[in-house]
Structure 1
Amino acid sequence: MNKKEKACDLIIEEPAAIYGEKPGMPKGEAMGPGETVACIRAGLPMVEFEALQALLGLGAEELAGHLGISRSTLVRRRKGRRLDPQESDRLLRYARLYARAKSTLGDEAAAQQWLKAPTRALGYENPLQFAETEAGAREVENLLGRIEHGVFS
């Protein structure tokens, strides 16, 4: 394990990526953009995957599917205890959407439910499915912004 990987190891229950927090630092101390990118490049630890899985209320294979991770690759990632950079980037996308939904809708349960429910504004796909691409994730964020400002969608 190199120095960058060690700096990105997290011993917390919620994904630090959601909050942009520095690993091992008190809550509220944010990572800078360079630190976030360095952690993604090093690969986020599996604890981030497991914490986001719990927050979204998804099974491991379901979340892995959204991240583009096959069942066999998920087994390897668990053994290696680290995601690769592309998987880490996609995990961060979902963590960002969860945080935005929680902020907009007011609580964890409402965010979880909204992210899993088919939405007319997204062609009756659920936001988690729609966000499997960066363009889709941006549209989900735009929809949350419209909801936040009371714009009918």
Structure 2
Amino acid sequence: MQIQSLNLKTTTTDQLISQLKQGLPADKFDQLRSKLNVSDNALSKIVQISRRTLDRRRITGRLATDESERIVQVAQVYDMAVDVFGNPQKAERWLKKPARGLGGKIPLEYSDTHLGAQEVITLLGRIMHGVFPG
């Protein structure tokens, strides 16, 4: 299992779960923020990490398990969008604009919950297969 945008390479889901339980390095937040081209505040809101907590995590060097899961969740959405649209710039644009398939909601913001992220991934799968316009 690979999470391209975070440079996480694991061969099994168990390995990824183990990494999540240990907590990802705090710099994975910054790595994802850079890929998405959003502010600290914007990504903090999406992954539900307060600025004060983020500052503490940067000092300790590790994210908590739940924070790590949310970072991976958004990274998976981003990676799928890059696969579907062919390049990071197109993926980033699509993730930041209202999507008809989400009732006019913005895919990146909709990815702030597990169910929302799954809906975005489902929509991206439909777009990839020509079943539903974005």
* TM-score when normalising by structure 1: 0.80
Amino acid at match of 2:132: F
Q: 8 Å contact 1:15–1:47 — kept in the other structure?
A: no
Amino acid at match of 1:48: K
Q: 1:27 matched to which residue of 2? A: none
For residue 58 of structure 1, report the CA deviation from its aligned partner. 0.8
Amino acid at match of 1:15: L
Amino acid at match of 1:16: N
For residue 134 of structure 1, report the CA deviation from its aligned partner. 1.1
Aligned length, in residue pairs: 129
Give the Cα–Cα distance (whole angstroms) in 1 for the partners of residues 99 and 59 of structure 2.
37
Q: 8 Å contact 2:27–2:58 — kept in the other structure?
A: no
Give the Cα–Cα distance (whole angstroms) in 1 for the partners of residues 58 and 71 of structure 2.
15
Q: 8 Å contact 1:53–1:63 — kept in the other structure?
A: yes
Amino acid at match of 1:65: K
Q: 1:149 matched to which residue of 2? A: 129
Cα gap change, 1:152/1:35 in structure 2, threshold over 3 Å: closer, same or farther?
A: closer
Q: How much identity, in percent, do the aligned residues show?
A: 37
The SS at the match of 1:31 is coil
1:114 to 2:94 alignment? yes
Q: 8 Å contact 1:119–1:125 — kept in the other structure?
A: yes
For residue 152 of structure 1, report the CA deviation from its aligned partner. 2.8
Q: 8 Å contact 2:101–2:132 — kept in the other structure?
A: no
Q: Where in structure 1 do 4 or more consecutive aligned residues deviate above 3 Å?
A: none
Aligned residue runs from structure 1 range 57-76, under 5 A: 57-76=37-56
Q: 1:51 matched to which residue of 2? A: 31
- In structure 1, stretches of 5+ residues that fail to align are 1-13, 22-29
Deviations, residues 38-84 of structure 1 (Å, cap 9, x unaligned): 10001000121111111000111211111111111111111111110
Give the Cα–Cα distance (whole angstroms) in 2 for the partners of residues 92 and 129 of structure 1.
15
CA RMSD of aligned residues (A): 1.2
Greater length-normalized contact order (CA 8 Å, ≥ 6 residues apart): 2
Amino acid at match of 1:129: E
Q: 2:83 matched to which residue of 1? A: 103
Q: 8 Å contact 1:98–1:111 — kept in the other structure?
A: yes
Amino acid at match of 1:138: Q
